[in-house]
Structure 1
Amino acid sequence: MKTADRMQGVHRSYIREILKVTARPEIISFAGGLPHPDSFPADRVAAAAAKVFAEEGASALQYSTTEGYAPLRKWIADRYARQGLTVSPDDILITTGSQQALDMAGRALLNRGDAVAIERPGYLGAIQCFSMYGADFKPVNLLATGVDTDMLDDVLERTGAKVFYAVPNFQNPSGISYDASTRHRVAELMARHECMLVEDNPYGELRFLGEDVPPVRCHMQTPSILLGSFSKMVAPGMRLGWIYAPDGLMDSLVRAKQASDLHTATLTQSILYRYLVDNDVDAHIASIRDRYKRHRDIMVASIRDHFPEEVATTEPEGGMFLWCTLPDSVSAEEVFKEAIRNNVAFVPGKPFYVDGTDNTFRLNFSNASPEKIEEGIARLGKCLRHCLS
């Protein structure tokens, strides 16, 4: 079978393949980017679904507009107002998860060979998605305070990158967040180099330490795109996200989505909206933050107890991940093989780079129980000591 040329440079999701390996019950997995299932408001979503069927009936099962369920778009716009952003519901396009929002952005913005600046390490889903459209990736290093803005300035100057894709809040995979000065500087660079910022914010509601920092979009004087998701604040199985885009780009995004799936499921949007308005969403998110903070603190403490001193780790203020860096001579792939033999799993860092770096790995702290975190990190510490020796 001959497939399209665009498929040749696109690989299967490394994480999805690893999850097949980690499905065995004896393995303690820190591999997937999975919210904790106890955080899913199943009973309340079920009540919302019952109310939708009782009150809306057939209309919730009918085709709808591509832009999405109008009340849900208004709910999103109103929530942005709390962050200091003036957003019209007309600027919101509901998508089937934020991964589809990435795909829509790629379709609307990228031609084959266009330069795309991306964090190093960067989100694997974005690398996979933009690869479909022939992106020429230009990696920019991350520092403890966010992207290296001097390097970003240089990359944009040398390459004329059309897009900069970034995850400023609790970045996947590193857990790093941009501080306020880095956000201001990024906004300035986007204007100076006429580059489109695609700001992905799936974890922004999950801050459990420090002070909230407004999105980079709040500092922008030029158009930018902001992506959001309900996967972390409600449930990923609903597959609902959105893209907030300037008026001049929205028509292209709508046409791209019409060619993809006409519109996101009307029923799911209606149920989600009913859940959001009938419940205290802020209290629900606060409970998730409390849970993830406990898990993060246990993992950080266990790492201090069990990991060799040569292994550096980030200590995020929110989100779901932390990032580990091995000595340059040690392969994370080899550590992974040893870890699987000892029934513990993580994601080696290589797929998060476009240049093949192999001495880092990602740990997820949101999904495992505190007991499994302690046991899993102890096992992993032994594996690391073995490999480093």
Structure 2
Amino acid sequence: MSFSKRMSRIKPSGIRAVQKRIAGKSDMISFAAGLPDPALYPLEDLRKAADTMLEKEGATAFAYGLTKGYGPLLDYLTDRMNNREHVECTKENICILSGSQQGLGLAAMTFLDEGDVVITENPSYLGAINAFRPYGAEFVGVDTDDDGIVIEDLERALEENPKTKMIYVIPNFQNPTGKAWTLERRERFMEVVAKYDVAVVEDNPYGDLRFKGEPLPHLRALDKKGQVIYLGSFSKILSPGMRVAWTCASKEVATAFESLKETNDLQSPELTQMLTYYYLKMFDLEKHIEEIQVVYKERCELMVEMIQKYFPAEIKYTDPEGGMFLWLELPEGLDSDAILDDALAAGIAYIPGESFFSFDGVKNTIRMNFTMVKDDQIRDGIRILGDVFRKHIG
């Protein structure tokens, strides 16, 4: 049988490749994960919520529901976006998703034609790049600094690429770098994109994981033209396996997502949507988030402290104010993928940074995760990794 051209454009995940190499090695210290700590899932509260849900709803929880989503959860999210996130919206602007990854695929189906250009941060989330790639999109990467996407480079990219259809960004604790945009950078970004007929996908899976500083407005809250497609998720604060996320966008885009979703998976599972709603109704989500923030803050700060103590001074690193990752930049000429062999032999895993770019060639970068490692693993792992790096830096 003959596969479509789309299949030939899909590239293997660099993250999955590393996970396969360390599978079953229980003694491996892994900084390669991209997951929330399962020890922080509110399992007991979810059990109680499930018991109450089944008692009250019965077989309804196992039946079909609306493609748009479970009504009470839609009401909750509308209230959350208006009052907590300061985004003016109604239920017409919301559509429940089976994970925010589905939102990336729906955005690609909604906007991208063969040869269209997608602008991303440089580097960016490889799952988004792979979601857009099958539709024949071409990519333009725009560099970031400590304040966020570089506006001058963005303006140049938009001017030089008139076929730009979509911009994909993660303003809060970006995967893979952990960087967060400043308020000024967010405002300037929206001023620039407002001049163009372009959709902006604002991916926000990590926004609730801020453990330093004050929350900043989402791009969607600064949007005056209806360009921003906001993607929110419960995966990093409740459970990734429940696959409950949502989009908040213009009525036209939300309706388009709903129509495409009907052909894609018909609906997100009614069971997990209802469980999420009952948990939210019965328990204090904000308190639970604060507990997660405390743990991740301690682990991130310990990792930065150990990097300062054990890594060669030539290695640059980010110091995140939230999220799940930090980013290493090794001296020019080093290949983090080649060094990984020595790291794995020493019992340490990480994700080489090359696959987070929409083009090949940036080999001296590394993504490090701090949410899935305990304190003693951070101390030992960073010390051992420092020795591996020192060997290659000489």
TM range (shorter): over 0.9
Opposite residue 305 of structure 1, the aligned amino acid is K
Cα drift, residue 380 of structure 1: 0.7
Opposite residue 334 of structure 1, the aligned amino acid is A
CA distance in 1, matches of 2:166, 2:350: 30
Could you list the per-position Cα deviations for residues 103-157 of structure 1 after superposition, in whole angstroms to 9, with x for gaps in the alignment? 1111111112110000000101100100121111110001110000100011011
Superposition map of 1:294-333 within 5 A: 294-333=298-337
Cα drift, residue 83 of structure 1: 2.4
Q: Aligned residue for 1:180?
A: 183
Moved more, 225-234 or 82-91: 82-91
Q: Aligned residue for 1:215?
A: 218
Cα drift, residue 290 of structure 1: 0.2
Is residue 87 of structure 1 aligned with residue 89 of structure 2? yes
Q: Aligned residue for 1:36?
A: 37
Specify the SS of the correspondent of 1:298. helix
Could you list the per-position Cα deviations for residues 163-192 of structure 1 after superposition, in whole angstroms to 9, with x for gaps in the alignment? 110000000000011101110011111111
Moved more, 176-185 or 86-95: 86-95
Superposition map of 1:119-158 within 5 A: 119-158=121-160
Opposite residue 116 of structure 1, the aligned amino acid is V
Cα drift, residue 233 of structure 1: 1.2
Cα drift, residue 249 of structure 1: 1.7
Cα drift, residue 22 of structure 1: 2.2
CA distance in 2, matches of 1:137, 1:94: 28
Q: Aligned residue for 1:10?
A: 10
Opposite residue 8 of structure 1, the aligned amino acid is S
Cα drift, residue 194 of structure 1: 2.1
Opposite residue 91 of structure 2, the aligned amino acid is P
Opposite residue 142 of structure 1, the aligned amino acid is T
The count of aligned residue pairs is 389
Specify the SS of the correspondent of 1:259. helix
Q: What is the TM-score when the length of structure 1 is the normalising length? A: 0.98
Equivalent residue for 2:390, pick from 381, 385, 388: 385
Q: Aligned residue for 2:108?
A: 106
Opposite residue 129 of structure 1, the aligned amino acid is A
Could you list the per-position Cα deviations for residues 314-348 of structure 1 after superposition, in whole angstroms to 9, with x for gaps in the alignment? 00000000000011111111121110111100000
CA distance in 2, matches of 1:309, 1:240: 42
Opposite residue 365 of structure 2, the aligned amino acid is T
Cα drift, residue 90 of structure 1: 2.0
Specify the SS of the correspondent of 1:8. helix
Q: Is the 8 A contact 2:100 2:231 kept in 1?
A: yes
Superposition map of 1:323-362 within 5 A: 323-356=327-360, 357-362=362-367
CA distance in 2, matches of 1:33, 1:134: 27
Specify the SS of the correspondent of 1:93. strand
Q: Is the 8 A contact 2:119 2:142 kept in 1?
A: yes
Is residue 283 of structure 1 aligned with residue 287 of structure 2? yes
CA distance in 1, matches of 2:93, 2:380: 47
CA distance in 2, matches of 1:233, 1:77: 18
Superposition map of 1:117-266 within 5 A: 117-160=119-162, 161-223=164-226, 224-266=228-270
Cα drift, residue 355 of structure 1: 2.1
Specify the SS of the correspondent of 1:252. helix
Specify the SS of the correspondent of 1:262. coil
Could you list the per-position Cα deviations for residues 37-73 of structure 1 after superposition, in whole angstroms to 9, with x for gaps in the alignment? 1110111111111111111011111111100011111
Structure 2, unmatched stretches of 5+, are none
Q: Is the 8 A contact 1:70 1:89 kept in 2?
A: no
Structure 1, unmatched stretches of 5+, are none
CA distance in 2, matches of 1:341, 1:183: 43
Q: Is the 8 A contact 2:61 2:271 kept in 1?
A: yes
Q: What is the TM-score when the length of structure 2 is the normalising length? A: 0.97
RMSD: 1.0
Specify the SS of the correspondent of 2:52. helix
Equivalent residue for 2:273, pick from 252, 269, 274: 269
Could you list the per-position Cα deviations for residues 233-269 of structure 1 after superposition, in whole angstroms to 9, with x for gaps in the alignment? 1111111111111112222211210111100000110
Identity %: 38
Specify the SS of the correspondent of 1:255. helix
